[in-house]
Chain A
Amino acid sequence: MNFKDNKAIYLQIADRIGDQILSGDLAPEGKIPSVRELAAEIEVNANTVARTYDYLQQVGVIYTKRGLGYFVSADAKEKIVATRREQLMHGEMDYFLRQLKAVGITPSELQEMYQDFLNK
């Protein structure tokens, strides 16, 4: 088991939609599948997908047009990046830093590695 913990299914689905928005598969102001369509496609409970859509609405990534369905917000990408930054800092980064400390990697070594990575 790794640090990518066993996230609740509705959040895993939110991540999946986030990925599609970041990759451009779902365009800003574009329509996303209905709850039932997506539930059937990914074989999960429709109420779970409804929960995902509630959550994404709450964080402003998608919005509803009455009677027309769900759409990607104009600034969805920025919102997703901001949320993921937050999650990374509080979750995975914490684990990562602990591991660095445990095996004794110094800040300057880390800086060098990250710089090399960015230069690639």
Chain B
Amino acid sequence: MLSISNLNFSYKKRGGDLFHDLSLELTAGNIYGLLGKNGAGKSTLINLMTGLLTPKSGEVTLDGVNVRDRLPKIMSDIYLIPEEFELPRLTLKQYVSINAPFYPNFSSEDLQRYLDIFEMGSDMDVKLHSLSMGQRKKVFIAFAFATNTRVLIMDEPTNGLDIPSKSQFRKLVSSGMTDDKMMLISTHQVRDISEILDHVTIIEQSQVLLNASIADITRRLAFRPMSEGDQPLFVQPSVMGSLVVVPAQPDEETAVDLEMLFNATLQNPEAINQLFNALK
């Protein structure tokens, strides 16, 4: 669906390539988690995916059409929730009447349903600038989901949300997802989203270190307390003894711990790479 092919990109001032020959295929029906350290290039990649930046070479296409051309038919099918944004001095009703027409699949019923999930009430005359930061984010997210674009990209969507709204956010994603959509969530808050993902993509130093489905990860890696004879890929001390990431035994299926997966991948990229490529 969304194809990144042989992407090269650098910021002029910093010098050196941020991305070198990066390729990645994102398919419909999946929710991707994009993980990477600070400065790994997550936000840049998102901007390239949504046509906000121009690659030095290579391209990003949505169903074969280059997103950088920013054709209306493509732009009406992509929505980006940036980490930080401004909302104009308008009521919600005015905001919707100005912005919704750009998105042919926008649904007022869906907007109401998502606002309900966030417990934001149904007052369309609410002034956006009178809302708190967190409330604004919830309105923005609800609107983004209601546009029903096939591509929905989110940069740190749970930042600034209070404790109940993180759970509401997961509800929103699980109920707003359909087989013809692709969602990508870039975040450091892995605990907020680990159970709603289909797929994990880890980038570091302009490379894709891991790009695998949760089902694949479950088959290949186990996350559990250390036992005798283990040759762990990663060890994490905890109050209850050492927790490890190890190659999974046949029939051993554990829940994926994203934080440990991330650390294991960064610490031991070759071993992880081997494990995932060997069995393909």
**A interface residues, Cβ below 8 angstroms from B:** 1, 5-9, 11-12, 36, 39-41, 43-48, 51
Assess the A46–B240 pair: CB atoms within 8 A. no
Task: Pick 28 A–B contacts, CB within 8 A, sort by A.
Answer: A1-B225, A1-B238, A5-B224, A5-B225, A6-B254, A6-B255, A6-B257, A7-B253, A7-B254, A7-B255, A8-B253, A9-B195, A9-B255, A9-B256, A36-B174, A39-B174, A39-B175, A40-B175, A43-B170, A44-B174, A44-B196, A45-B214, A46-B177, A47-B198, A47-B215, A48-B195, A48-B214, A51-B215
Chain B interface size band reads 20 to 34
Residues in A whose Cβ lies below 8 Å from that of B224: 1, 5-6
**B interface residues, Cβ below 8 angstroms from A:** 29, 31, 167, 170-171, 174-175, 177, 195-198, 214-215, 218, 223-225, 238, 240-241, 243, 253-257
Assess the A43–B174 pair: CB atoms within 8 A. yes
Is the contact region of chain B dominated by helix, strand, or loop, or is it mixed?
Answer: mixed
Assess the A45–B196 pair: CB atoms within 8 A. yes
- The 8 tightest CB contacts between A and B, nearest first, are A43-B170, A40-B175, A8-B253, A1-B225, A39-B174, A1-B240, A6-B254, A44-B195
Assess the A43–B257 pair: CB atoms within 8 A. no
A40 to B238, CA, bound (A): 32
Assess the A46–B174 pair: CB atoms within 8 A. yes
Residues in A whose Cβ lies below 8 Å from that of B195: 9, 43-45, 48
B233 CB to nearest A CB, Å = 16
Assess the A45–B174 pair: CB atoms within 8 A. yes
Assess the A5–B254 pair: CB atoms within 8 A. yes
In the complex formed, the residue of A with least CB distance to B169 is: A43
Assess the A12–B214 pair: CB atoms within 8 A. no
Cβ-Cβ contact count across A and B, 8 Å cutoff? 60
A39 to B31, CA, bound (A): 13
Taking a contact as CB atoms closer than 8 A, the residue among A8, A36, A46 that contacts B255 in the complex is A8
In the complex formed, the residue of A with least CB distance to B215 is: A51
Assess the B253–A11 pair: CB atoms within 8 A. yes
Given A7-B253, A36-B174: 12 more A-B contacts, CB < 8 Å: A6-B257, A7-B255, A8-B253, A9-B195, A9-B256, A11-B253, A36-B175, A39-B175, A40-B175, A43-B174, A45-B214, A46-B174
Residues in A whose Cβ lies below 8 Å from that of B174: 36, 39-40, 43-46
In the complex formed, the residue of B with least CB distance to A43 is: B170
B155 CB to nearest A CB, Å = 20
A7 to B223, CA, bound (A): 9
In the complex formed, the residue of B with least CB distance to A2 is: B240
Assess the B215–A1 pair: CB atoms within 8 A. no
B86 CB to nearest A CB, Å = 30
A43 to B240, CA, bound (A): 27
A6 to B253, CA, bound (A): 8
In the complex formed, the residue of B with least CB distance to A39 is: B174
In the complex formed, the residue of B with least CB distance to A3 is: B225
A8 to B243, CA, bound (A): 16
Q: Knowing A6-B223, A39-B175, A40-B175, say if A45 contacts B197 (CB, 8 Å).
A: yes
A9 to B257, CA, bound (A): 11
Assess the A43–B218 pair: CB atoms within 8 A. no
Residues in A whose Cβ lies below 8 Å from that of B197: 45
Residues in A whose Cβ lies below 8 Å from that of B238: 1
Assess the B171–A43 pair: CB atoms within 8 A. yes
